[in-house]
Amino acid sequence: MKKQFLLLTILALALYSCEKEDNVPSVFLEGTYHGVLESSEGNPVYSSEITFSRSGNVLIEHFITRANSEVRCLRGYSEGTYSLKGEDFTFSFTSSLGPDPATFDISDGCVPKDQLVSNLNPTNPTQTGTLVLNDSEESFLLEYTCNDMLGGMNNCIGAQIFTKVE
């Protein structure tokens, strides 16, 4: 009886302690994708470019085009690695830069890239969301989990469409 109990206990532990392998393969993208937040007339246009490499590296650049202007200004960027399994997207930051909040004034114009300062949040170096890729990999829909923050900019903006530019 003790042997049967011991055998059943070992079998139960083996079944419950082994995690099921994730059968969803990782997807690696390559290229630059451009997305624009909808804006009403007379307001600035916010856009982003995400550049993926098949090695798992990613660069996300954020831009602003002020109302009545054709000049697109870099307002910050983040670098790191990404993971895409099915539709689950994870971005792990290694760096994040933006304007110095103590000196930045949006009416002053574009901030030169070399004057951007680190705004990496060490307590939240990962951002998660959903990335739905179209079949041809020419565009995707990206939506971040709403409670995440990126460089001090709240991402509760809903899903955003990105289209491949190169």
* Cα 52 to the center of its chain, rounded Å: 11
Q: Is the pTM of this model over 0.95?
A: no
Taken in order 24, 26, 32, 35, the sign of the CA dihedral is positive
- Are 116 and 98 a contacting pair, CB within 8 Å? yes
Q: Where are the domains of the chain?
A: 24-164
Q: How many CB atoms lie within 10 A of CB 19?
A: 6
Name the 3-class secondary structure at 72: strand
pLDDT of residue 33: 97
pLDDT of residue 78: 94
DSSP type of residue 25: P
CA–CA separation, 82 and 79 (whole Å): 10
Q: In tens digits, what is the pLDDT along the chain, a chain of 166 residues?
A: 555 444 444 444 444 444 444 567 788 899 999 999 878 888 889 999 999 999 999 999 999 998 888 889 998 999 999 999 999 999 999 999 999 888 877 667 788 888 899 988 777 788 899 999 998 889 999 998 775 444 444 456 788 999 999 7
pLDDT of residue 146: 72
pLDDT of residue 149: 47
CA–CA separation, 29 and 55 (whole Å): 9
Fold observed for domain 24-164: Lipocalin (2.40.128)
Joined together, the tokens standing for residue 93 give 């930051």
CA–CA separation, 30 and 41 (whole Å): 33
HSE-up of residue 88 (Cα within 13 Å, Cβ side): 6
